[in-house]
């Protein structure tokens, strides 16, 4: 089975996660995919294959050298984003993309156009895998899984490439921020690892957002509108005022690079009660803490104006910037950097404007930077992946294994 065949098979599984269930994995369909992967890894001759009740699948490619070589790992997640359905994914290969609009769904006039997505033109002449315009594709992160499995097959079939013991891990629920929660780092048994979960070719990331989630519940008082003067408290209006009190420019659509934000992700309400949900993000830990304080201060201001208990805040940290855990072991970045250069990929070290399982794993004792998997426009119908991107990611995995053994 080729890398592309493997990827096309993987995206046929619906593995959307769901943060509302409170389970691990959050959806049973992820376990169906995990069972398929377990069978595949067994058929490929990998060893020490385990799949636990929470959907964490580990396997080993044994060392083929007598040298003492650090055990390293490669990790990818099985779930796809709740943002859009991953059911009945119908991928299509656009051969030798010519730079024009790609019609994804003629009936609904859904078009993947370089006018909206100029990154398409970086892949002119290449073969692209696209959606049918009705689902996401699932390259995030089934491209990463396909690349890791294919790299293990390649190393197994090319014993002249010497490598140490390699562990691979596939986990559920990354898209809902819980992919590393039950990841058994001790059982995985690596000195360090890499998540294959980035975007464009060359991305190498060891900085990510500090992240928190906030839920604010606004209590109202409903009175007949004809007799409501000085009596009614409309929780929807109170929530709207709260939203307007936060910095209007510090939102995802107006920030980039190292700039943090408050992201309003949900609002649901009636006069009696309105619930507003946010995610809070910043690379700088001090600024991150300041953002949480600002959220608390704004809630207090609402309560001072409307009455104590009108607004209640639930605030929880999700993950932290892995940089502080990677900097003491920067040789693992150097290895990835050298591997990319060796296979003709220009490294692009950049901060992740998001999170990664690697961040949480780094704080659990497994340093785990992130490497590109090659997909673009994640989490929606315009997602696509150039086949060449996946091939290059696979080559980087192979080269990392080789370089670690050679050093």
Place of tokens 């003492």: 68
**∠ Cα 249 250 256 (to 5°):** 105
Nearest to 281, CA basis, from 268, 267, 295 = 295
- β-pairing, 261-269 vs 210-219, is unpaired
Q: In what order do the strands lie in the sheet with 92-94?
A: 92-94, 128-130, 384-386
* Whether the Cβ atoms of residue 83 and residue 177 lie closer than 8 Å to each other: no
Distance of CA 286 to the CA centre of its chain: 24
Q: Count other C-beta atoms under 10 Å from residue 180's C-beta.
A: 27
Q: At a CB cut-off of 8 Å and minimum separation 6, what does 187 contact?
A: 50, 58
Distance of CA 36 to the CA centre of its chain: 22
Q: At a CB cut-off of 8 Å and minimum separation 6, what does 394 contact?
A: 3, 147, 150, 151, 154
10 Å CB burial of residue 374 (0-12, 13-18, 19+) is buried
Give the pair of three-digit tokens for residue 311.
């607004």
Q: Which residues are catalytic?
A: 79, 174
- Per DSSP, 68 falls in state -
DSSP 7-33: HHHHTTS--B--TTS--SSSSHHHHHH
| Cα–Cα dist 71/405, whole Å | 10
Asked if omega into 245 is within 30° of 0 (cis), the reply is no
* Whether the Cβ atoms of residue 243 and residue 251 lie closer than 8 Å to each other: no
Place of tokens 């080559």: 395
Q: At a CB cut-off of 8 Å and minimum separation 6, what does 382 contact?
A: 104, 112, 116, 117, 131
- β-pairing, 47-51 vs 57-61, is antiparallel
């Amino acid at each position: 089975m080729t890398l592309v065949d493997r990827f096309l098979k993987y995206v046929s599984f619906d593995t959307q996660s769901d943060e509302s269930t409170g389970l691990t994995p959050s959806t049973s369909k992820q376990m169906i995919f995990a069972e398929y992967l377990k069978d595949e890894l067994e058929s490929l001759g990998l060893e020490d294959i385990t799949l636990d009740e929470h959907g964490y699948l580990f396997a080993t490619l044994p060392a083929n050298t007598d040298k003492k070589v650090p055990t390293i790992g490669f990790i990818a997640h099985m779930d796809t984003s709740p943002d859009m359905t991953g059911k009945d994914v119908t991928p299509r290969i656009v051969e030798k993309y010519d730079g024009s609009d790609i019609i994804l769904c003629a009936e609904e006039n859904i078009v993947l156009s370089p006018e909206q997505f100029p990154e398409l033109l970086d892949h002119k002449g290449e073969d692209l895998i696209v959606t049918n315009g009705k689902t996401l594709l699932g390259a995030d992160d089934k491209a990463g899984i396909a690349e890791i499995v294919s790299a293990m097959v390649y190393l197994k079939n090319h014993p002249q490439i010497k490598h140490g013991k390699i562990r691979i891990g596939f986990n559920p629920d990354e898209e809902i921020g819980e992919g590393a929660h039950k990841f058994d780092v001790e059982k995985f048994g690596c000195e360090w690892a890499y998540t294959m979960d980035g975007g464009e070719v060359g991305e190498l990331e060891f900085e990510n957002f500090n992240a928190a989630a906030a839920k604010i519940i606004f209590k109202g008082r409903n009175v007949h509108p004809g007799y409501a003067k000085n009596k009614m408290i409309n929780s929807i209006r109170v929530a709207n005022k709260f939203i307007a009190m936060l910095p209007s420019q510090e939102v995802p659509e107006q920030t980039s690079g190292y700039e943090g934000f408050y992201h309003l992700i949900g609002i649901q309400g009636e006069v009696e009660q309105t619930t507003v949900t946010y995610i809070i993000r910043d690379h700088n830990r001090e600024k991150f803490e300041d953002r949480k304080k600002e959220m608390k201060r704004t809630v207090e201001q609402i309560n001072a104006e409307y009455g104590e208990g009108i607004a209640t805040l639930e605030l929880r940290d999700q993950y932290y910037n892995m940089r502080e855990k990677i900097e003491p072991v920067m040789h693992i970045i150097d290895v990835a950097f050298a591997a990319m250069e060796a296979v003709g990929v220009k490294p692009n070290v950049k901060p992740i404007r998001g999170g990664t399982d690697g961040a949480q794993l780094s704080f659990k004792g497994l340093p785990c930077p992130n490497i590109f998997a090659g997909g673009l426009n994640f989490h929606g119908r315009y997602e696509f992946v150039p086949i060449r991107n996946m091939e290059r990611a696979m080559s980087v995995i192979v080269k990392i294994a080789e370089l670690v053994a050679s050093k």
